[in-house]
Amino acid sequence: QVQLQESGPGLVKPSETLSLTCTISGGSISTNYWTWIRQPPGKGLEWIGYVYHSGSTNYNPSLKSRVTISVDTSKNQSSLKLTSVTTADTAVYYCARPYGPWADALDIWGQGTMVTVSS
């Protein structure tokens, strides 16, 4: 079955760029679109945005000026880049699959990767 795995640096310096990758296994990236979600420590879930296999994207307006989500179909991966990070960007970052027949509920999640923004 489809599995997702996030990867990337666990520590990023303020003002730098956070870069994460979500690797999709057990299925093709081209059959769906892919979402990024984050969760600051002890807080709730925040939707970052999504990307279709075509490269079409939709971002949360609160992050739109700093975020880029892309796909690499040859590697079956989605990537997240967040520029000019601050301590407020410290969070667990998840990739997830919205499932169309389920009203786009997120039916498959990666295990999440913790990113700390600190000098």
Partner 1 sequence: DIQMTQSPSSLSASVGDRVTITCRASQSISDYVNWYQQKPGKAPKVLIYAASSLPSGVPSRFSGSGSGTDFTLTISSLQPEDFAAYYCQQTYSTPRTFGQGTKVEIK
Given the rule CB under 8 A, which residues bind partner 1?
35, 44-47, 49, 58-62, 94, 96, 98-99, 102-107, 109-112
Distance CA 26, CA 61 (A): 32
Min dist. Cβ of residue 13 to partner 1 (A)? 26
Instruction: Let me know: does 68 contact 81? Beta carbons within 8 Å.
Output: yes
Would you say 16 or 40 has its CB closer to partner 1?
Answer: 40
Q: How far is the CB of 70 from partner 1 (least distance, A)?
A: 18
CB 82 to partner 1: min, Å: 15
